[in-house]
A and B are shown apart, each in its own frame.
Chain A
Amino acid sequence: MPARLANILLTVGALVAALAVFGVFAGFAGVSPVQVWMLLFKGAFGDWFAWQNTLQRAAPLMLTALCVALPARAGLVVIGGEGALVLGGLACAALAQALPLPQNWLGLVLCCAAGAIAGGLWVVLAGTLRQWRGINETISSLLLAYIAIGLFKHLVEGPLRDPASLNKPSTHALAAGLQIGGIAGSDVHWGIVLGVAACAAAALWLHGTTGGFALRVVGGNPRAAQLVGLPATRLVLLACGLGGAAAGLAGAVEVAAVHTAANASLIAGYGYAGILVSFIARHEPIAVVPVAILFGGFGAAGSLLQRRLGLPDASVLVLQGIAFVLILASEALRDRPWRRQPAPAVEAAPVAAVVSP
């Protein structure tokens, strides 16, 4: 437990350092760092309005982070969440357009399920290519993401296009009964509940069931998994499917709650940001929730920095970049005494002694 606390403190320390570096960076632009920090907090968590904005951004981040976290627990580095997300949004919009769905919760559930299935299958494809042909899933999922985006643009600007959408090609807007509304009249939609619930379910599955345990064995020690006869391929594909379904659901929710139709606004980089959220949460689904809220908050604070201080809107991108870099680099300081450290000095010397005559 103290080790876990130390790890959390390390991440927090890296975050504080990132804020300090960003303060200095803003200082060069002639802005008071203290004011920057105050506005960052205010824009992200300062009042109810800020919280609404933050949570709205955090919802898809939680789901796309799961698309990285679950396969990561099975030993895969999947970075194609963006592809699963856009296809999920597309499937949601396409189903609503193709079938006369009942305009109530049932139709909405069907739309979201279509998104989750589309996203799940897309990431399962990357997992299948790995298990079947030994193709590295990092590369194939990235390629698949670009193929998915191409497919998305083709269908949205072609067969599925609403002729009325002139400047911004879109599918037909979802019927009002199929849209996800705000919680209690606020701007925060039910996606945040879905995100938190998905993270909690993933954590329960990983830590409370034999299936989740088997998955962690497969990811932690493939040879041990093989020795005890775990169905590694099935578990890997399951993790890919569930992760992809989460990202697909993110796309469907973005369409049903925010954009109301599938269009290019869906390709906003949530898939890539989710990768970083998952890495910072160390692929722990429960930790994904606060990390996603934090980075949703940074995004939400951007417009306030721009309005009040005249900083370019890209300054939050800089802040996020600095924060991610420092938090990832802080991994090097993690002290895990129970794990044997590779000692390069010992490694190098004897080998050299053996090789040289």
Chain B
Amino acid sequence: MSLELVSSLLFPILGGALRVGAPFLFVSLGECLTEKSGRINLGLEGVLVLSAMAAFAGSYLSGNAWLGVAAGMAAGAALALLHGLICSLPRVNDIATGIALMLLGTGLAFYFGKPLIQPQAAQLAPIELGGWSDSPAVRAALQINPLLPLGVLLALAMGWGLANLRAGLVVRLAGDSADAARALGYRVAAIRVAATATGGMIAGMGGACLTLFYPGSWNEGISSGQGLIAVALVIFARWSPLRCVGAALLFGGAGAIGPALQSIGIGWGYHLFNALPYLLTLAILIVTCRPGTAAAGSPGELLSNR
């Protein structure tokens, strides 16, 4: 009985972590890259919703889910590019601009997404990793979103690239000391715009996860604030792309605890479990922050440190 109980709890949570964690992974990687360059993008919420709509529309119109993913990435990059460009203007506040773009992005997505609420679009075929098991629970849990392994590869590549590639070092330089970057002849604004747009493109893949994989439809409640949470995820991961993978899975898994408990008849605390990751992030901040110093691992130029 207890084994049954464990499996009926554990596998849904694991499956939830893998399913819900995928969009978290992409938005956190996008936000991580943006913040590494010294800028914060609260508008990723808008990016996520807009790219979710664009991915669904692309897949619906072309009949190919991967073209949909490309459309989502393009839409995400375009909106983030706008954020990057506006924030490059003097005296423009990136927090307020991010929230304005959150409104604009969701507005555009709802506007153009109105006719897409009914139809079905081609979906990404899941990767079945549970074939070895007879248990339907295990099989269901291990139906992996094909974008998820891509995201893990991307995290590895980003972690390596930020440490070893010239482009990665330049991004970190712009994020840690704009003066030093300028002294070496780099154009800080251009670097940040490029990093923000690329971050938006990565977050756009997260949008595609929302509409092109289970449950796989477009509606106006598609995102429950995953884009805003990206900021918390990146702090949780202490600005490391590799730790973003763990953070995304943890946040995804925590969100799946409530539904899993509900399925075995325990409805208590559903929303509290959803709030758990934020509490955890706050606790981490309380433990790691010291007055007068920046959070460990955060880029020196980040607005939040000044």
Q: Which residues from chain A sit less than 8 Å from chain B, CB to CB?
A: 77, 79, 129, 131-136, 138-140, 142-144, 146-147, 149-151, 153-154, 157-158, 272-273, 275-276, 279, 312-322, 324-325, 328-329, 331-332, 334, 341-342, 344, 347-348, 351-352, 355
Contacts and interface: CB of A to CB of B under 8 A. Distances in A.
Contacts of A348: 182-183
B107 A328 contact: no
A136 B305 contact: yes
Contacts of A147: 275, 278-279, 282
Given A136-B304, A276-B99, A352-B182, 17 more contacts: A79-B99, A133-B291, A134-B289, A135-B295, A143-B282, A153-B271, A276-B103, A312-B111, A314-B107, A314-B108, A318-B107, A320-B107, A324-B104, A331-B92, A347-B179, A351-B179, A351-B183
Interface of B: 42, 46, 82, 86, 89-93, 95-97, 99-111, 114, 179, 182-185, 220, 225, 228-229, 231-232, 235, 268-272, 274-275, 278-279, 281-282, 285-286, 289-293, 295, 304-305
Nearest to B188: A344
Contacts of A334: 91
B182 A347 contact: yes
B235 A139 contact: yes
Nearest to A327: B100
B96 A328 contact: yes
Given A142-B231, A331-B89, A275 B96 contact: yes
B89 A318 contact: no
Contacts of A352: 182-185
Nearest to A68: B96
B111 A318 contact: yes
Nearest to A129: B286
What does DSSP make chain A's interface, helix, strand, loop or mixed? Answer: helix
A146 B91 contact: no
B275 A133 contact: no
24 contacts: A77-B93, A132-B291, A134-B290, A138-B304, A143-B278, A144-B282, A146-B275, A147-B282, A149-B275, A150-B272, A150-B275, A154-B271, A157-B271, A276-B99, A318-B107, A321-B104, A321-B105, A321-B107, A322-B104, A324-B103, A325-B86, A328-B92, A332-B92, A348-B182
A146 B282 CA distance: 11
Contact of B90 (A315, A325, A332): A332
B100 A276 contact: yes
Nearest to B286: A133
Contact of B95 (A77, A342, A351): A77
A348 B179 CA distance: 8
B92 to A, nearest CB: 5
B194 to A, nearest CB: 18
Contacts of B270: 153-154, 157
Nearest to B185: A352
A151 B304 CA distance: 26
Given A136-B305, A153-B271, A312-B110, A325 B104 contact: yes
Most chain A CB atoms below 10 A, which of B86, B90, B282: B282
B108 to A, nearest CB: 6
B297 to A, nearest CB: 14
A316 B220 CA distance: 15
Contact of A321 (B42, B100, B279, B291): B100
Q: Which 3 pairs across A and B sit closest by C-beta, in order of nearness?
A: A321-B104, A150-B275, A317-B107
A215 B228 CA distance: 30
Contacts of B110: 312-314, 317
A331 B91 contact: yes
Given A276-B103, A347-B182, A158 B268 contact: yes
A144 B232 CA distance: 11
A275 B183 contact: no
A142 B82 CA distance: 23
Contacts of B109: 314
Given A138-B95, A348-B183, A332 B89 contact: yes
Contacts of B101: 321, 325
A133 B103 contact: no
Contacts of B275: 146-147, 149-151, 154
B99 A140 contact: no
Given A134-B292, A139-B304, A312-B110, A320 B103 contact: yes
B230 to A, nearest CB: 11
Contacts of A317: 103-104, 106-107, 110-111
A322 B107 CA distance: 10
Contacts of A324: 96, 99-100, 103-104
B100 A325 contact: yes
B302 to A, nearest CB: 9
B96 A279 contact: yes
A131 B290 CA distance: 10
B95 to A, nearest CB: 6
A32 to B, nearest CB: 18
Contacts of A151: 271-272, 275
Contacts of B114: 312, 314
A248 to B, nearest CB: 19
A320 B105 CA distance: 11
A314 B107 CA distance: 5
Contact of A134 (B106, B182, B185, B293): B293
